[in-house]
Structure 1
């Protein structure tokens, strides 16, 4: 039996399709403009780091490949203890990140899958700490570090904030979506409670854990306020603290350094510091997006 399509229906469908294509085009154009706006400063800093110092000031918006030089990087490495900053940041990142990625999901597992007296009250108290500004906690934490004799030590840089309230909240939302039937089946098979967490829950929540790992790396890597307060010695300075004192270090090591020289070395150091984050985010962006989506729905 032959079927016929009404002309009006065809025109409406075509019109809707054109509207949909136009909307997608407008959305892509808007996102492209946002991408350019966000990446333009980063691209300018990276390219300017390879320009002669005097051209950074005289022609800041012009990049001539014929003038590419590594002088800014050579002078910066001679004037600034960037390697020590990377070392301290790497130690803090490895240990503190490991603590966060192990204990936060473990605590979240307890809140998500166990019923005990005062659970909601304790979880509410954890969430309340998210509302406290960091500046409010600095003085009490600093006094505790002084009493413990941990000022200017790795312990002070690593332990405060290692078990993050946001990380617990994030992982609780992710673990809550794990079917209870999986846990019950593991218990029937004789698995211990920690074994259930390690062998059943962790493999299921890997996308959410990967998303948390990206956020944790970025937060620790970019942390400045607490390290600059608790690690005042140059020996324990993290990368962000080193970057904050670049101008003073350059001027102190290079007497009479002009504004152009200082700016060139600042851009070189910033370019070196930003590259690890760019590489990590580009490499793990798919896991980061999947991790965000895994915690956005329950059930």
Structure 2
């Protein structure tokens, strides 16, 4: 007597299906609790700095962890604006950020497009040479670049702050990896329709790589905004100093502009300046966080 198999998979019982739900809920709750603790750990120093900037200078030193809202004031901010040229630092940084960022976001995708989608003699050799520059420490390049800026007469100018490093190897590598995931069939179809290469790049490639471009934009803004070593070397005039240089020299500016300024006063104004400097990066990251996450994932799977 033969047994005929129906081919139907045995169904899980209702109790077996429901027993897994509490485990998933507990795992999800544990994950959320861990993420909340991690967020608190990262944001606690920032929150402390912002709240401490509103305290009287003396209490920052004597009671660093005590926060009395009744004593909060903007005195540290007012004194900081009087003692420190932070507005000039913001203005210089804004000019460098806009111009240098625009150069990076225009030329890096073009170079990445060439390396990802074209075949030419020495392509791998040139791309390897570009990647080799990532291994050079910044400190090694400072002296040659400074000598070049001096020969060109660009010391204490926007050209010196903007042009060196405006199209770096990492940006080219990032764009090359992102554009490599764009299907070649899209480009070939556009060529058949009579599109030129630059038009293909603007009309086909750029809309597809928009998440990767947004991710590069966030990284570029952060790198330019936080850059300190090169601006402090190539600028000596106060009017040309970027925000990070102004913040680094804040203590001596306060003590030099105010007779009898003590340690507590310096700390109060330093926290006020640092709190203001945090605002642009926080706003940019909040506005572009979705694109930044998508940009990191862009190009990880080649289509």
- TM-score, with structure 1 as normaliser: 0.95
Task: Name the residue aligned to 1:277.
Answer: 281
Displacement of 1:6 in angstroms is: 7.2
Structure possessing the higher radius of gyration over alpha carbons: 2
1:290 alignment counterpart: 294
> Residue 245 in 1 paired to residue 249 in 2?
yes
CA displacement, residues 212-255 of structure 1 (integer Å, 9 cap, x when unaligned): 10110010000001100111221210000000000000000001
Per-residue deviation at 1:5?
Answer: 7.5
Unaligned runs of 5+ in 2: 1-7
**How far apart, in 2, do the equivalents of 1:295 and 1:37 lie?**
31
When structure 1 is superposed on structure 2, of 120-129 and 21-30 the one drifting more is: 21-30
The residue number in structure 1 matching 2:107 is 103
Match of 1:124 in 2: 128
Tell me whether 1:135 sits opposite 2:163 in the alignment: no
Give the CA deviation at 1:190.
1.2
Residues in 2 aligned to 1:5 and 1:162: alpha-carbon distance in whole angstroms: 63
Shift of 1:4: 11
1:269, CA displacement in angstroms?
0.6
d(CA) in 2 for partners of 1:149, 1:42: 40
Matches within 5 A, 1:77-116: 77-116=81-120
Structure 1 residue 11: Cα displacement: 5.2
3-state DSSP class of the match of 2:185?
helix
Cross-structure match for 2:73: 69
Q: What's the offset of the Cα at 1:206?
A: 0.8
CA distance in 2, matches of 1:133, 1:232: 23
CA shift at 1:181, angstroms? 1.1
- Match of residue 220, structure 1, among 218, 224, 246: 224
Structure 1 vs Structure 2 CA RMSD:
1.7
Q: Distance in 2 between matches of 1:125 and 1:14?
A: 58
Alignment of 1:131-170 (within 5 A): 131-170=135-174
Other-structure match for 2:205: 201
Matching of residue 230 in structure 1 with residue 234 in structure 2: yes
Q: Deviations over 1:132-171 (max 9, x none)?
A: 1111111111111112111111111101110011111111
Shift of 1:125: 1.0
Equivalent residues in 2 for 1:172-211, closer than 5 Å: 172-211=176-215
> What TM-score does the superposition give when structure 2 sets the normalisation length?
0.93
